[in-house]
């Protein structure tokens, strides 16, 4: 029965079974069957703690099922299925194993009811996901993977340290709502923030995701950051600091995405921007905002996967994802173009697409609770999303100019994966009721009101007008063959240079000090040798008379001292 074992074990068993099968369609079929079976189990699970293990006087809860964990587990199984369908052609055992184990670890973490179980699955996602980067088998991918692994494992170390301190402070390892009032909870919060790509902790995302394989990027986009969103929603709902952190997250990626040439990096920045909306919802902490966070995470996994799929299909067929080298692909890749436009409409929150019915929950929560400045920031960020993902991605990939490339349409399985994902994006947007029914709290919300629809359409139309004016006047940043610097330049380039310069100066100072000290020591030794050496003055024979005189002098000096004292 599904109630008797963790769902994650299905994926681990599937990975073991994968090794027993020959390469080919049998493995690909298993990769599709495992998430389907897991999805059915997740759907049928009753609520409650279904699997508890006693370990060193601690109760480890492997299956804590409630509405929040269920909706994230459901979308994770759906994402695993779509990602494996998209990767049907892959015959690389490393990627296939990594995809299964990565998804299983993420789902296991979602159902974890205590911090220790969460830690093991948390590190599991880090160790398994890095192989989707290394599977590209280039020197750049290797170094990127190492940086990614250091960051992700570091997040896990902070989580473990925080859990240990939290246990010492409270006597509990339960993974429930916490308050930022101790070192332990701050470490846990920071661990979640690293995985959620908080500002200044975000560079691993833009560094790693575009460096992965064509199919690996699709899988990566679904799990790590949304697991962090779930962890924040579970552990720190209503933490006001998250409102402002999320607001910053929605803003700064816009400017990087607008000037970025690599379209997969554009989508990585866009992913960071969308995470900001979810973090704001967690920070507000009301039932409406938390519903918005869960709904937006669900919708975001789908439309972001669709955009990564479409750009990945372009990369698969042309060998490049650089906007400066693409254009005119609608002529030979029309279906991929259509799916890309659907993903762009969804992320831009067009009415009748999934982003509209999820993002509006968070915007409504912000205005309802009086966060008007934050609401205005989110509105501006929505316009920015439309610029860099809603328009820029499809425009520069398929329409901007004729690059002369005439690649084939994407393979059938890729089109099928994109088609199913596009269908879900539209279906959720048209019929939001089934998704709303899965949300953590009961929903009494109507997204399709005149105010919501008109406001959003005005925002989108004026954004499109601004983009057109900027393009016609030549102000909009062109797609250039260049590398844009982000804050990671400070520790990847500047810091090594500074450390090298400082170490060079310190080495010279140390060498000079050492030389001076050695010179002085040698001079002292030489003087001592001159006096006390075999040929020194103190080693000479002294006449008896002289010695008697000196003894008499010393005796007289002693008598005088005694007399005076």
Q: What angle do CA 51, 54, 55 make, to 5 degrees?
A: 125
pLDDT of residue 533: 63
In the structure, how many helices (H) and strands (E) does the chain have? 22, 4
Q: Say if residues 82 and 139 touch (Cβ distance below 8 Å).
A: no
pLDDT of residue 531: 67
pLDDT of residue 55: 84
Give the three-state DSSP class for 59: strand
Q: Which of 355, 258, 260, 250 has the alpha carbon at shortest distance from 303? A: 355
3-state secondary structure string across 306-372: HHHHHHHHHHHHHCCCEHHHCCCHHHCCHHHHHHHHHHHHHHCCCCCCHHHHHHHHHHHHHHHCCCH
Q: What does the DSSP 8-state code read for residue 33?
A: H
Q: Say if residues 15 and 101 touch (Cβ distance below 8 Å).
A: yes
Rounded-to-integer distance, Cα 114 and Cα 119, Å: 9
pLDDT of residue 183: 95
Q: Say if residues 215 and 79 touch (Cβ distance below 8 Å).
A: no
Q: Which of 262, 177, 252 has the alpha carbon at shortest distance from 217? A: 262
Q: Say if residues 30 and 21 touch (Cβ distance below 8 Å).
A: yes
Q: Which residues of the chain are under the pLDDT cut of 70? A: 1-4, 477-482, 529, 531-544, 546-547, 565
The residues pairing with 61 across neighbouring beta strands, listed in sequence order, are: 52
Give the three-state DSSP class for 433: helix
Tokens for 92, please give them.
Answer: 């690389």
Contacts of 206 (CB under 8 A, 6+ apart): 256, 265, 268, 269, 272, 486
Element (DSSP H or E) covering residue 174: none
**φ/ψ of residue 53, rounded to 5:** -120, 130
Q: Say if residues 76 and 20 touch (Cβ distance below 8 Å).
A: no
pLDDT mean across residues, the chain: 90
Contacts of 318 (CB under 8 A, 6+ apart): 325, 326, 329, 405, 407
Rounded-to-integer distance, Cα 247 and Cα 279, Å: 8
How long is the chain?
Answer: 565
Rounded-to-integer distance, Cα 218 and Cα 78, Å: 13
Domain boundaries, the chain: 1-150+210-233, 237-484, 490-516
Rounded-to-integer distance, Cα 211 and Cα 130, Å: 11
pLDDT of residue 88: 95
Q: Please give the distance of CA 98 from its chain centroid, rounded to a whole number.
A: 17
What's the predicted TM-score (pTM) here?
Answer: 0.87
Element (DSSP H or E) covering residue 276: helix 263-284
């Amino acid at each position: 029965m599904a109630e008797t074992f963790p769902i994650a074990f299905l994926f681990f068993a599937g990975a073991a079974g994968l090794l027993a099968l020959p390469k080919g369609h049998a493995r690909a079929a298993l990769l599709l069957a495992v998430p389907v079976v897991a999805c059915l189990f997740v759907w049928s699970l009753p609520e409650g703690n279904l699997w508890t293990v006693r370990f060193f006087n601690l109760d480890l809860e492997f299956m804590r099922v409630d509405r929040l964990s269920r909706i994230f587990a459901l979308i994770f199984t759906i994402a695993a299925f779509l990602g494996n369908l998209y990767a049907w052609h892959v015959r690389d055992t490393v990627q296939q194993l990594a995809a299964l184990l990565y998804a299983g670890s993420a789902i296991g973490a979602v159902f974890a009811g205590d911090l220790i179980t969460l830690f093991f699955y948390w590190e599991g996602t880090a160790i398994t996901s890095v192989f989707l980067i290394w599977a590209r088998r280039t020197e750049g991918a290797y170094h990127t993977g190492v940086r990614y692994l250091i960051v992700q494992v570091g997040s896990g170390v902070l989580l473990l340290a925080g859990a240990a301190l939290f246990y010492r402070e409270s006597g509990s390892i339960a993974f429930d709502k916490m308050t930022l009032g101790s070192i332990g909870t701050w470490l846990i919060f920071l661990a979640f923030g690293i995985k959620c790509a908080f500002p200044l902790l975000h560079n691993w995302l833009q560094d790693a995701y575009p460096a992965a394989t064509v199919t690996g990027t699709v899988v990566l986009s679904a799990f790590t950051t949304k697991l962090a969103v779930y962890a924040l929603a579970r552990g720190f709902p209503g933490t006001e600091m998250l409102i402002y952190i999320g607001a910053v997250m929605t803003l700064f990626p816009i400017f990087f995405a607008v000037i970025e040439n690599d379209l997969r990096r554009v989508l990585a920045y866009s992913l960071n921007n969308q995470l900001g909306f979810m973090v704001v919802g967690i920070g507000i902490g009301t039932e409406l905002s938390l519903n918005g966070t869960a709904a937006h995470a669900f919708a975001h996994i789908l439309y972001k996967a669709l955009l990564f799929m479409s750009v990945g299909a372009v990369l698969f067929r042309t060998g490049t994802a650089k906007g400066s080298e693409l254009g005119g692909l609608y002529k030979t890749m029309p279906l991929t173009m259509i799916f890309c436009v659907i993903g762009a409409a969804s992320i831009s929150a067009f009415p009748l697409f999934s982003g509209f019915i999820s993002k509006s929950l968070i915007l409504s929560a912000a205005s309802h609770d009086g966060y008007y400045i934050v609401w205005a920031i989110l509105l501006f960020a929505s316009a920015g999303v439309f610029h860099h993902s809603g328009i820029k991605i499809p425009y520069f990939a398929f329409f901007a100019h004729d690059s002369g490339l005439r690649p084939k349409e994407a393979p059938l399985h890729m089109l099928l994966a994109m088609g199913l994902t596009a269908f879900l994006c539209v279906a959720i947007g048209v019929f939001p009721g089934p998704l709303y029914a899965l949300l953590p709290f009961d929903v009494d919300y109507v997204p399709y009101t005149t105010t919501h629809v008109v406001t959003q359409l005005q925002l989108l139309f004026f954004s499109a007008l601004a983009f057109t004016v900027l393009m016609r006047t030549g102000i909009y940043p062109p797609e250039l063959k260049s590398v844009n610097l982000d804050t990671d330049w400070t520790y990847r380039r500047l810091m090594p240079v500074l450390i090298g310069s400082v170490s060079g100066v310190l080495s010279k100072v140390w060498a000079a000090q050492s030389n001076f000290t050695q010179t002085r020591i040698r001079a002292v030794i030489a003087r001592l040798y001159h006096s006390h050496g075999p040929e020194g003055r103190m080693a000479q024979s002294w006449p008896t008379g002289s010695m008697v005189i000196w003894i008499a002098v010393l005796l007289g000096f002693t008598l005088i001292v005694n007399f005076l004292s």
